[in-house]
Amino acid sequence: MMKLLLLALALGCAAAVPVEENGALLQEVCQPHSRPWQVYLWNTKGGWYGEERCSGALINEWWVLTAWNCFVEPGHTMVSLGEHDLTVEEGTEQHIRVARYVQHGPYARGPSHSLAMVKLAEPARFTQHIMPVALPTRCTQLHEKCLVSGWGSTVPGQDEPNLILKCETQRVIDDKMCQIAFPLYWIEHAFCAKTIISTDNCLSDQGSTVVCGGELQGLFWSSSSDVGLYTRLCLYLDWISDIMNTPDPTPEPAWTTPAAATTW
Of the pLDDT bands very low, low, confident and very high (cuts 50, 70, 90), residue 8 is very low
The predicted-structure confidence for 14-55, as pLDDT tens digits, reads as follows 333 333 333 334 458 899 999 999 999 998 886 655 556 889
Angle CA(54)–CA(131)–CA(123) in degrees, nearest 5?
80
Beta strands in the chain (DSSP E): 19-21, 24-26, 38-43, 53-58, 63-66, 77-81, 94-103, 116-120, 145-150, 166-172, 190-195, 209-212, 215-224, 227-231
Structural domain span for residue 95:
37-132+239-245
Distance CA 188, CA 7 (A): 38
Query: In CATH, what number is assigned to the domain containing residue 210?
Result: 2.40.10.10
Answer whether residue 253 is part of any domain: no
Q: Are residues 98 and 69 in the same domain?
A: yes
What is the model's pTM?
0.81
> How many Å from the N-terminal Cα to the C-terminal Cα in the chain?
78
Distance CA 59, CA 139 (A): 17
Structural domain tally of the chain?
2
Q: Are residues 87 and 128 in the same domain?
A: yes
Answer whether residue 74 is part of any domain: yes
Distance CA 212, CA 234 (A): 12
**What was the pLDDT predicted at 9?**
32
